[in-house]
Amino acid sequence: MFRSLRRALGAAAAALLLPLAGVQAGVQAAHADTAAVVRSAAEAAAPGAGYWHTSGRQILDVAGQPVRIAGINWFGFETSNNAVHGLWARDYKSMIDQMKSLGYNTIRLPYSDDILKSGAVANSIDFSGGKNADLQGLTPLQIMDKLVAYAGQDGLKVVLDRHRPDAAGQSALWYTSAVPETTWITNLKALATRYKGNPTVIGIDLHNEPHDPACWGCGDTTRDWRLAAQRAGNAVLSVNSELLIFVEGVQTVDGVSGWWGGNLMGVAQYPVQLDVPNRVVYSAHDYATSVAQQSWFSDPSFPANMPGIWDKYWGYIFKQNIAPVWIGEFGTTLQSTVDQKWLAALVSYLRPTGTYGADSISWTFWSWNPNSGDTGGILKDDWTTVDTVKDGYLASVKAPGFPADPGGGDPGDPGDPGGGTAACTAAYTVSSDWGGGFNAEVKVTNSGTTALKSWKTTWTWPGSQKVTSMWNASYTQSGATVTATNADHNGSVAVGGSAAFGFGGAPGGGGAPTVTCTAT
């Protein structure tokens, strides 16, 4: 709501999980049963595999394990650039690697229908020094293909967000005179077909932030967003029945107004009903005072009043086990005390992963981009440095790897009264190298018999490489030797569990050195 400024400045995933091969024709039934058992066992070992569906308030993977979307918005395809922003500063692979290292497991990709037009061209992409080399000469859709493919290789899921009818600006309704409903639905179906069979793309957010005069349940087919969402959702599922259908709220229901797209009060009486069951996820947007002032921010009881506000607008859907809820956008500059209290309260309301596991409200933070006018981003203006304060607020609700076990391991491991040996190992992987620089990840695994409280890793490069930035750990470098220690939020690691940190370095061309890990 009231976000034209942010939109004007910039309006805004598991190795590529391929579908499991079916049982070959002609194989005997007994063999098919055995294959199903083997397949189930494999899927159970990797939460998040395959396409997803819903059951009550939970999102479940192909094996029926609960998963939590804990992701980030990366906008740009909805602007005149026709591609995600920041490619003028960095290689797209390095940014996706960094998202993964920070613990985000899903990317929400806003787009406008302009990218599907014949002759659409992407711009503002830097190809110097080998950056983004495989994007040269590609159409906007082909660039999206590349991002989806690499996100899948990195273990991330993708939600496509039909953000705007065209790059000119946000629309209250899902159609305009220039982009009628028929075009909207045709393009949704085209994208659903394009990624059919690729479960990295788990679903489509049908339209971003419907607002007045959009209504919910009024019955006027020109304004009733709930009816339009049913038409579009069924059209998408008619060509790709595996996708989740993300449906945002509106602005006003029964005279009660809220954020654009953030009011889902109408779901109680008028739920979205699709031809394919267990596909609807309701999506709300919620913001702080850096976006706009709302009455609840000046309530004397703030922030204690906020859970009741969220319950009224969208939280009841989760609490009453009606359907899953996904906060598709929330963000702030964090400059005011009010905003800081708001974000802390919202994160608590979303339910910490360590306590509730995947039985939680899903989310994608706004935004990865620093050039969002009234919120800023997880990245700072150099498109590389992480705003560790903002990112730190989200640490308790991140869910890397889509864990089925909220504790991340045997609940008896932490603080084992019987004692044990604290030990760890570390694995170093170069995720991208463009000649002038590179990105790498170090994964620390608890190889001992008791929980780690903290850890330290050390390695020595054979060349002149230097760390240029690091996330999820702090470091010192003396000559070619680097020592990296855990951040506050990832020092505790259960037996058999792991934590990861990432970094950028320069120049490129460095191999993977041997890394030692010490439990401290």
* Active site (catalytic) residues: 209, 329
Q: What is the DSSP letter of 251?
A: S
Q: Which helix (H) or strand (E) holds 455?
A: strand 455-460
Strand partners, 466: 506
Q: Which residue has the tokens 């349940």?
A: 217
- Enter the tokens of residue 265: 């009060």
Query: Distance between CA 352 and CA 348 in Å, rounded?
Result: 6
Q: Residues 401, 353: contact at Cβ < 8 Å?
A: no
Query: Distance between CA 214 and CA 250 in Å, rounded?
Result: 6
- Enter the tokens of residue 159: 């939600």
Q: Which residues of 436-461 are buried (b: 16+ CB within 10 A; e: fewer)?
A: ebbbbbbbbbbbbebbbebbbbbbeb
Query: Distance between CA 478 and CA 457 in Å, rounded?
Result: 14
Q: Which residue has the tokens 């009224």?
A: 312
Q: β-strands 515-519, 455-460: how paired?
A: antiparallel
Query: Distance between CA 516 and CA 8 in Å, rounded?
Result: 48
191 by DSSP, 3-state: which?
helix
- Rounded alpha-carbon distances, angstroms, from residue 284 to 179, 236, 513: 24, 21, 45
Task: Judge residue 118's burial from the number of C-beta atoms within 10 Å of its C-beta, 0-12 exposed, 13-18 middle, 19 or more buried.
Answer: exposed
Measured torsion, CA atoms of residues 374, 378, 380, 381, in degrees rounded to the nearest 10: -50
Residue partners of 150: CB distance under 8 A and separation at least 6 = 92, 93, 96
Q: Which residue has the tokens 């909220």?
A: 406
Query: Distance between CA 354 and CA 358 in Å, rounded?
Result: 9
Nearest Cα neighbor of 332 from 283, 285, 381 is 285
Task: Judge residue 312's burial from the number of C-beta atoms within 10 Å of its C-beta, 0-12 exposed, 13-18 middle, 19 or more buried.
Answer: middle
Cis peptide before 303 (omega within 30 of 0): yes
